[in-house]
Structure 1
Amino acid sequence: MLDHVIVTVSDFARSTAFYEQALKPLGITDFLDFKGQDGHPDLKGFGTDGRFFFWLKEGRPDPDAVHFGFRAKSQAEVNAFFKAAIAAGGREKTAPAAQLQYHRDYYATWVLDPDGHDVEVVNKTGQID
């Protein structure tokens, strides 16, 4: 099980605004600013219930080197993420739909963030709403 992921972004403010809006439908609404020092960069943490597991740092991104997926509680959450991410400036890669090539209950969407990172949101429970 993963504890956290750090994603390098080219424009800290732009990506922070994107993820704040896009992750809200998934219940990821806690944010934390970590002020870097002694060579450690500034970070922006995203999480829920005081647990921060998704972090941004500014630098030179390499979107082809990373893929990450967030779990949704239902297909409705997948759809809500997609709408929020597009409204926040993301680009559609794959619209929300069943992905039967993976599993009969695999429902997902893929969106490209402002730097082109491939962001997946998936529900594997068959729960519609």
Structure 2
Amino acid sequence: MPGQRLIHHLGVFASDFAASDAFYTAALAPLGIGAGYRTDSVAEFWQHGDDTPSVSLETAQAPEAVTRGLHLAFEAGSRSEVDAFHREAVAAGGVSRHEPRYWPEYRAYTAFVSDPDGNNVEALIKESQP
């Protein structure tokens, strides 16, 4: 179907909502993604002006419900956005997995950071060459 998206939304369940909210708010801001909806235990992140697709961040209701092992990649508009994502994510408590660089096997400039629960969060821009 034309215009249909692969993913509508994704839920991430955090062990510490405040820490994860601070991380995602800082890390995603350089990509033009912000919380369009927020309560004390839920934040819905989407691109400004378009609420789909979105990432829902919520407080996990039990320790076994915490999202772990997820690899979540966000598309950037430029290398400078990828750089800013990495810088802001680390400043907000994330742990760098890979600093920004060009990966020829993926034809992408990308950076990887672990969120407070250890999920692999990535920002990338596809390129045909470095």
User: Which residue of structure 2 aligns with residue 113 of structure 1?
Assistant: 115
Checking the alignment, whether the CA contact within 8 Å between 2:36 and 2:51 is kept in structure 1 is no
Equivalent residues in 2 for 1:30-109 (5 A)? 30-33=35-38, 42-47=41-46, 48-51=48-51, 53-59=54-60, 60-64=65-69, 66-103=70-107, 106-109=108-111
Distance 1:127-1:26 versus aligned 2 partners, 3 A rule: farther
User: Which residue of structure 1 aligns with residue 22 of structure 2?
Assistant: 17
CA drift of 1:109 comes to: 0.6
- Give 5+ residue unaligned stretches, structure 2: 1-5
Distance in 2 separating the partners of 1:88 and 1:115? 13
3-state SS of the aligned residue for 1:84? helix
Distance 1:77-1:126 versus aligned 2 partners, 3 A rule: farther
Tell which deviates more after alignment, 47-56 or 119-128. Answer: 119-128
Higher-strand-fraction structure: 2
CA drift of 1:34 comes to: 5.7
Computed over aligned residues only, the root mean square deviation of the Cα atoms, in angstroms, reads 2.1
CA drift of 1:91 comes to: 0.3
CA drift of 1:125 comes to: 3.6
- Give 5+ residue unaligned stretches, structure 1: 36-41
Checking the alignment, whether the CA contact within 8 Å between 2:30 and 2:81 is kept in structure 1 is yes
Moved over 2 A (4+): 125-128
TM-score after normalising by structure 2: 0.82
